[in-house]
Amino acid sequence: MPETATALRELTFGEAIREALAEELRRDPRVVLLGEDVAEAGTAFKVLKGLVEEFGKDRVIDTPISEPGFTGLAVGAAMTGMRPVVDIMFGDFMALIMDQVANQAAKVHYMSGGKWKVPLVIRTTMGATRRSAAQHSQSLHAWPSHIPGLKVVVPSTPYDAKGLLKAAIRDDNPVVFFEDKISYAKVKGPVPAGDYTVPIGVADVKRLGRDITLVATSSMVQVALGAATMLEEVGISAEVVDPRTMWPLDETTLVESVRKTSRAMVVDEGYYRYGVTGEIASVIAENAFYDLDGPVRRLGARHVPVPFSPVLEDATVPTERDVFELARKMCNR
């Protein structure tokens, strides 16, 4: 842990994000927050509660319900001296802003021969099981990860969330930052009170193990850790690796873990097809093929629009039991 980071407190995932934003707003006058109901309401998830009281409405700015408009504005503001942090309430609304993100923000630096920079952060959410149905439940972090020029961050713990968000705000590139809605209040963990960053592009081994590597992202890290505890009881030692950023992707840490354990499963809450699990599985297969005892296996969100009814929705997201059972099969136990 960096020396400047002092006292550790238990914070929720949401509190850690608020603290990162507050510290960056204090540190750098060019940082502004833009989004729907970010000021007095503190967002629909109340994550930004209190920030407008400290920083005022010039820094914590309520927008109309115009996602493509204020995201595009933030791209231009980022190019010309500010460091905007845009709040996109639901990850599903990535669909509305994708032109500004993929065709504008991602391309500006390259197309200008490296002359313009876009130090922009887009914070948005992901994760199902809130009974919010098909247009408010998707985990679309694979989308921006597909586009060269964007960095994509998917933190799973309060510590990582604070450190990575500060790193994202200080980065000179557009960064899309996905926050799991369920984790906001549910996931708690130690967070230093002071300033620190977590570098973008470095994975973290969340649990050491010998028999199988569970590569898990965002919401699925807790699921993988839960499964690892269950596996322990049947004598299987699972290592849990959290890439923390989709791009840049820390291939070295992933591959090293798999070389050691010789088995790999990738668990992610995005859609199973054409997504994160496929990409990570192929990285492992390409780099650790001869160390593997069997094919890399994947668990992702079922390839259906997220249904409303609890009995249906629960069948769409990987659970601890799903991970446990598949891991057992892979270890022949």
Partner 1 sequence: MTTATRQAAAGLDVETLLRMYRQMAAIRLFEERVSDLYTRALMPGLAHLYIGEEAVAVGICEALRPDDYLTSTHRGHGHCLAKGAAPHLMFAELLGKEAGYCKGKGGSMHIADPATGNLGANAIVGGGAGIATGAAFSSKWLGTGRVAVCFFGEGALGQGVLYETMNLAQLWKLPVIYACENNLYNEYTHCSETTAGDMLARPAALGIAAERVDGQDVREVHAAASAIVERARRGEGPGFLLLDTYRYRGHHVGDVAREYYRPKQEEQRWMSERDPIALHGDWLVSEGLADRAALERIQSEVASEMDAAVEFAVKAPYPDPSTVDEDVYA
Ligand X SMILES: Cc1ncc(C[n+]2csc(CCOP(=O)(O)OP(=O)(O)O)c2C)c(N)n1
Residues classed as catalytic:
136
Residues that bind ligand X (CB under 6 A): 36, 65, 67, 89, 93, 96
Dihedral angle at the C-alpha atoms of 129, 147, 215, 9, nearest 10 degrees? Answer: -70
Site pattern 248..287 for partner 1 (x: CB under 8 A): ----------------------------------------
Q: Which does 134 bind (CB under 5 to 8 A by kind): ligand X, partner 1, none?
A: partner 1
Instruction: List binders of partner 1 among 22-51 (CB under 8 A).
Output: 36-37, 39-41, 44
Q: Is the peptide bond before 248 cis (omega within 30 degrees of 0)?
A: yes
Q: What residues contact residue 108 under an 8 Å CB cut-off, 6+ apart?
A: 75, 79, 116, 117, 118, 149
User: From the CB of 85, what's the least distance to partner 1, in Å?
Assistant: 19
Q: Which does 201 bind (CB under 5 to 8 A by kind): partner 1, ligand X, none?
A: none
Using CB under 8 A, which of 22, 69, 82, 262 touches partner 1?
Answer: 69
Instruction: List binders of partner 1 among 78-97 (CB under 8 A).
Output: 92-93, 96
Q: For residue 279, how many other CB atoms are within 10 A of its CB?
A: 18
| β-strand pairing of 238-242 with 204-207 | antiparallel
Of 69 and 201, CB closest to ligand X: 69
Q: Does 56 bind partner 1 (CB under 8 A)?
A: no
Cα torsion angle, 69, 74, 75, 79, sign: positive
User: From the CB of 102, what's the least distance to partner 1, in Å?
Assistant: 17
Give the total of residues touching partner 1 (CB under 8 A).
36
User: From the CB of 65, what's the least distance to ligand X, in Å?
Assistant: 5
Paired residues of 175 in beta bridges = 121, 151
Using CB under 8 A, which of 29, 194, 305, 329 touches partner 1?
Answer: 305
Q: What residues contact residue 123 under an 8 Å CB cut-off, 6+ apart?
A: 17, 85, 86, 87, 88, 165, 177, 179
Q: How far apart are the first and last CA of the chain?
A: 38
Q: Does 315 bind partner 1 (CB under 8 A)?
A: yes
The stretch near partner 1 (CB under 8 A) out of 17-25, 157-165, 208-216, 302-310 is 302-310
| β-strand pairing of 264-271 with 297-301 | parallel
User: From the CB of 93, what's the least distance to ligand X, in Å?
Assistant: 5
Using CB under 8 A, which of 4, 8, 50, 65 touches partner 1?
Answer: 65
Distance, CA of 283 to CA of 261 (rounded, Å): 16
Q: What residues contact residue 321 under an 8 Å CB cut-off, 6+ apart?
A: 227, 230
Q: Using alpha carbons only, what angle is made at residue 115 by residues 113 and 116, rounded to the nearest 5 degrees?
A: 115
Residues at the contact surface with partner 1, assessed by CB under 8 A: 36-37, 39-41, 44, 62-66, 68-69, 92-93, 96, 130-136, 302-305, 307-312, 314-316
